[in-house]
Amino acid sequence: MDAIAEPPPEEASTIADRVFGQLRQAIVEGGIAPGAKISEPEMAARLGISRGPLREAMRCLESTNLVERRPNLGARVITLSSEQLIEIYLIREALEGLAARLAAERMSAAGIADLKELLAQHRAEIVLECWQAYVQKEGDMDFHYRIVQGSGNQRLIGILCDDLYHLARMYRCKFGMVSDRARDALKEHELILDAIAERDGELAELMMRRHIRASRRNVERRLATDTTTQPRTDP
C-alpha cells in the first residue's frame, strides 16, 4: 500500500513544508493508522528524503496535535477517543459561534452570495436522494470553513482551519459517520446564513452554537447506543 500521496499540485518551496502537508493528509485520511509508530529512517526512505526535513515536519505535526512524540522513543499518530471528539465539539461550539457573529458583522456581500449558492446546491443534492452525502462528504465542513474565513479574525481562522478541522476530518474518516441529520443540518445552515445576511450577529452566533450543539448531541447519542461507531483498533 502507498499510504502517502504524491506531492499535491501546489508545490511547497521547501521539502519539510511539503512533507508536512503530505503526512497530515495521510494521517487525517487514515493512510497512516491512528496509534501507528512513524519510524524516521523508514519514512524518510519511503519519501525519498533525508531525516532532517522529515524531523521538521514531524515537529509541526506534533504542534498541531496529530502525532505524539516522546524523547528517544519516537513519534506515534494520535489515537482517537470519543472523549476527545466531544472536547472538539465543545470548542467548536464556542469558537464557531464567535466566527458566525463576526461573519455577520464583517463578511462581504459577495461572500454571502457565494454561501447562498453553496446552500442551494446542497439543497438540490438532498432532493436528488443522494442526501446522505451532504454531511458525510465535505459539504458540511465547506459551509463552516467559509464562515470562519468570513470572520476575518486571523487567529480564529488559524485555530479552526489549521488545527481543529483536520482533526474533525480525521474523526469523520475513522468513524464511518453516515449522518441521518442531513436535512436538519441544512435547515440549520440556512438559518445561520439568514442571520448573517441580515447582519444579525447575535442571532447568527446563537444559531451556530445551537447547530453545533445538535451535532454533538447526535454524536453523543450514537456513541452511547451504536457500537459500530467505535473506533477500529487496527493491529
* Per-residue cell: 182: 442531513
Best CA proximity match to 140, nearest among 72, 200, 69, 215: 215
The rounded distance, in Å, linking the Cα atoms of 99 and 136 is 23
Cβ of residue 63: shortest distance to a second copy, in angstroms? 3
Binding mask 19-58 for DNA (x = CB under 7 A): ------------------xxxxxx------xxxxx-xx--
Q: How far is the CB of 84 from a second copy (least distance, A)?
A: 7
Q: Shortest distance, CB of residue 179 to a second copy, whole angstroms?
A: 23
Please report how close the Cβ of residue 10 comes to DNA at its closest, in angstroms. 15
Among 8, 39, 42, 87, binds a second copy (CB under 8 A): 87
By C-beta, is 95 or 185 nearer to a second copy? 95
- What is the signed CA dihedral for 129, 227, 208, 126, rounded to 10 degrees? 0
- Kindly report the CA angle at 165 between 163 and 170, in degrees rounded to 5? 100
Give the CA distances from residue 115 to residues 22, 133, 160, 199, 231, in Å, rounded to whole numbers and listed in that order.
Answer: 29, 18, 19, 14, 33
| Of 10-18, 127-135, 158-166, 218-226: span binding DNA (CB under 7 A) | 10-18
Considering only CA atoms, which of 36, 27, 38, 37 is closest in space to residue 5?
A: 27
- Binding residue (CB under 7 A) for DNA from 7, 31, 69, 163: 69
- Looking only at residues 136 through 155 of this chain, which bind a second copy when binding is defined by CB under 8 A? 153-155
- In degrees, rounded to 5, the angle at the alpha carbon of residue 43 between the alpha carbons of residues 41 and 36 is 110
Nearest distance from C-beta of residue 143 to a second copy, angstroms: 20
Does position 220 interact with a second copy (CB under 8 A)? The reply is no
Q: Is residue 71 involved in binding DNA (CB under 7 A)?
A: yes
- In sequence order, what are the beta bridge partners of 52? none
**What does 140 interact with, of DNA, a second copy, none (CB < 5 to 8 A by kind)?**
none
Q: Which of residues 84-143 bind DNA (CB under 7 A)?
A: none
List the end-to-end C-alpha distance of the chain, in Å, as a whole number: 16
82 binds a second copy (CB under 8 A): no
Which H or E run contains 106?
Answer: helix 82-106
Comparing CB distances to DNA, the nearer of 27 and 186 is 27
Task: Tell me how far apart the alpha carbons of residues 208 and 37 are, in angstroms, rounded to a whole number.
Answer: 38
**In 10 A of CB 164, how many CB atoms?**
19
Tell me which residues touch a second copy (CB under 8 A). 12-14, 16-17, 52, 55-56, 59-60, 62-65, 71-72, 84, 87-88, 90-91, 93-95, 97-98, 102, 153-156, 158-159
The residues binding DNA (CB under 7 A) are: 14-16, 37-42, 49-53, 55-56, 69, 71-75
